[in-house]
Amino acid sequence: MFLTKRQSQLLDHLRHCLAVQGYAPSLEEIAAHFELSSVGTVHKHLKALEDKGFIRRQWNRSRAIEIIEPADGRARRVPLVGWLQGGHPIERMQNSSSVSVPEDLAGREATVALQVRGRSLHDECLDEGDYVVMARRDQIRDGETAVLVMADGSAQVRSLQSSGENVLLHSRRNGQVPVSVPRCDIRIEGVVVAILRRMSPVN
């Protein structure tokens, strides 16, 4: 189903807000975000998205907007929420954007994506421009890979293994010894469920 540029931007913004905040923005907030002078214009775009089958609204509830994903289950749009660079804080995106992820990779959890900057994560098999798709949950099983925020605010991508009150951080780099850190010194930003990479043509 064809969407206008504004309708596509609005749909991306709704996905972003629902994934990051857990609730939809108000008509006034949408108008302010897109610098629209009237909430009537917002209502018109929302109605168009609803008529085309992309969203569902409950008229008796404020902010009650639900994204309807494609029934064929082949892919869905995942909010792109920031940039990831090893050893640096995650840089949050100010503008709403999204990336298409195969449904069997994204699953049904609250899922967002970060885009890799630079080559600081090369040892973790991540290159500049890669998309790290992660499920937003703070519980992780041994052996799963997560995007971590360390005590100093920097981000890392490591697989985890419980070790009493500590956690062992495993790198994919051959020969690197796991690092043991107190569990309280890390925060799990999300559990990695997929890596997307655009391949460059060979000259």
Q: What percent of the chain has pLDDT over 90?
A: 34
Amino acid at the residue 187:
R
Judging by beta carbons within 10 Å of its beta carbon (0-12, 13-18, 19+), is residue 160 exposed, middle or buried?
Answer: buried
Which regions of the chain are under pLDDT 50?
201-203
pLDDT recorded at residue 89: 94
pLDDT for 88 equals 94
Total count of residues recorded for the chain: 203
Q: pLDDT value at position 203?
A: 45
- List b or e across 56-92, with b for residues whose CB sees 16 or more CB atoms inside 10 angstroms: eeeeeeeeebebeeeeeeebbbbbbbbbbbbeeebee
pLDDT in the model for residue 22? 78
Q: In the 8-state DSSP scheme, what is residue 124?
A: G
Q: Between vectors from CA 85 to CA 82 and to CA 89, what angle results, nearest 5°?
A: 70
- The pLDDT assigned to 9 comes to 85
Q: Which pLDDT tens digit goes with each residue over 2-49?
A: 677 788 888 888 888 887 777 888 889 999 999 998 899 998 999 888
Cα separation, 76 vs 105, whole angstroms: 10
Question: What letter represents residue 80's amino acid?
Answer: L
Q: Please give the single-letter amino acid code of residue 188.
A: I
Q: How many CB atoms sit inside 10 A of residue 131's CB?
A: 21
pLDDT at 161: 92
Distance of alpha carbon 200 from the chain centroid? 24
Answer for the pair 111, 133: CB distance below 8 angstroms, yes or no: yes
Task: Tell me which residue has tokens 């996905």.
Answer: 15
What domains can be seen in the chain, in order of their start residue? 5-67 (1.10.10.10), 75-196 (2.10.109.10)
Q: Is the dihedral of CA 190, 94, 6, 47 positive or negative?
A: positive
Contacts of 32 (CB under 8 A, 6+ apart): none
